[in-house]
Amino acid sequence: MTQDNSNPTRDMIDALETGDNVSAEKSFKDALSTKVGQELDDKRKEVAGTIMSKELETNDNAEPTEIDN
């Protein structure tokens, strides 16, 4: 059976229908890995965008501090 990696979910279903549990497990892991990887990548981009766009907070009401030598 030739697997098309562009659709691991379909491959998993096909493998289960033919009783090929090893291929079904591999297809399941591929589908899960792809989904988790995409979510992590999306979150990384979101966090990076937040960090890069966040302005430095300044406290204009702070009193100057003298340093004694």
Instruction: Give the domain extent around 25.
Output: 1-37
Q: Per the domain annotation, does 68 fall within a domain?
A: no
Q: Per the domain annotation, does 27 fall within a domain?
A: yes
Q: Per the domain annotation, does 33 fall within a domain?
A: yes
Give the residue, 67 or 33, on which the prediction is more confident.
33
Whether this model's pTM surpasses 0.95: no
Q: What is the pLDDT of residues 47-69, one digit of tens each?
A: 988 887 765 555 556 666 777 76
Q: Per the domain annotation, does 30 fall within a domain?
A: yes
Give the residue, 18 or 6, on which the prediction is more confident.
18
Q: Per the domain annotation, does 63 fall within a domain?
A: no
Q: Per the domain annotation, does 3 fall within a domain?
A: yes
Q: Per the domain annotation, does 65 fall within a domain?
A: no
Indicate the number of domains in the chain.
1
* Spatial separation of the C-alpha atoms in residues 68 and 56, rounded to whole Å: 28
User: 8: pLDDT confidence band, cut at 50, 70 and 90?
Assistant: confident
Q: Per the domain annotation, does 58 fall within a domain?
A: no
| C-alpha pair distances (Å), 56 with each of 11, 47, 48, 51 | 50, 16, 15, 10
